[in-house]
Amino acid sequence: MLTRLASAINDVGHCGKTRMLTRIAAVIGCVCHGLAAAGVATLAALVSYVVFMRWVIGQPPHWAEELPQLILLWSTLLGAVACSYHRSHLSAGLLPLVVRSARWLKVFTHIGDVLVLIMLLMITKAGWALAMLTMSQTTTALQIPAGISYLAVPVGCAAMALVQFIHLFTRGDSQ
């Protein structure tokens, strides 16, 4: 993964605009996917540790629920960026059953991409406002700003919006 990332970064400066945009999307997708994967591995380790502490030591850690939930939220929204890059979000697949023309399929895909982009930007703005609003409050167990949890929403949505924007000008992920 690191080699792919390095090659993607390296290519940014050496290729045409479309290729550069594709590479930027690749870097974002790759980094977010790697972070989300690290989050999943951490979740598995943390919950196993909680089970061990509860049954062997008899004293579960005070963050037993709060920390895994925080990681789950961040991991999910970063993983969703990778899904946007790979175009692997679940969809109904009804359009090809209704529309046969390749040209119209492309038109509808672009309309969908634009609508998704607008929605993601609106939620990014709302998420940022919410995160800033709750930064002064602290969480019960970890005593960290509550906004750190909500910050996952604008970060994830902004990254998805950027990938979505790049999809409008490129063919999307080649994988």
Partner 1 sequence: MTAGALTMLGVFGLGILIDIPIAFALLIAAVVYLTAFAAAPMLVSAQQFAAGMESFTLLAIPLFILAAQLMNSAGLTQKIVRLCMTLVGDIRGGLAVVAVLACMMFGALSGSGVADVIAIGSMLLPAMQRSGYKKGFSCALVGTASSIGTVIPPSIVMIVYGTTSNTSVGKLFMGGVIPGLMLTCALVGVALYVSRKNGWGGGTPSTSREKFRAFIDALPALMVPVLIIGGIRFGVFTPTEAAASACLYALIVGMGLYKNLRLNDIFDCVKATAETSAAILVIIGAAGLFAWGLTYEQVPQAIASLIGELTDSRNSVLLLLTLVLLILGSFMESIAIIIIITPIVMPLLSQYGIDPVHFGVLLTVNLAIGANTPPLGVDLMAACRIGGISVMESLRPLVMMLVAMISVLMLLTFIPELVLFLPNLMDS
Residues that bind partner 1 (CB under 8 A): 33-34, 36-37, 39-41, 43-44, 47-48, 50-51, 55, 65, 68-69, 72-73, 75-80, 82-83, 86, 88-98, 108-109, 111-112, 115-116, 119-120, 122-123, 125-127, 129-130, 133, 149-150, 152-154
75 versus 170: smaller Cβ distance to partner 1: 75
Q: Are 47 and 60 in contact (CB under 8 A)?
A: no
What is the closest distance, in whole angstroms, from the C-beta atom of residue 103 to partner 1 in the complex?
Answer: 15
CB-based burial label for 94 (10 Å; 0-12, 13-18, 19+)? exposed
Backbone torsions φ then ψ of 102, nearest 5 degrees: -60, -35
Residue number with CB closer to partner 1 (20 or 46) = 46
* Cα–Cα nearest to 173, from 77, 68, 32, 48: 32
Which two three-digit tokens encode residue 96? 């090809």
Alpha carbon 23 to its chain centroid, in Å, reads: 17
User: Which residue, 7 or 88, has its beta carbon nearer to partner 1?
Assistant: 88
Residue 89's alpha-carbon distances to 12, 61, 85, 92, 139, in angstroms, are 26, 35, 9, 10, 31
- Specify the residue, 12 or 138, whose C-beta has the smaller distance to partner 1: 138
Q: Give min distance, CB of 136 to partner 1, in A.
A: 15
> How far apart (Å, rounded) are the C-alpha atoms in residues 17 and 29?
18
Work out how close the CB of 16 gets to partner 1 at its nearest, in angstroms, rounded to a whole number. 29
Nearer of residues 122 and 168 to partner 1, judged by Cβ: 122
- From the CB of 131, what's the least distance to partner 1, in Å? 8
**What's the closest the beta carbon of residue 15 comes to partner 1, in angstroms?**
26
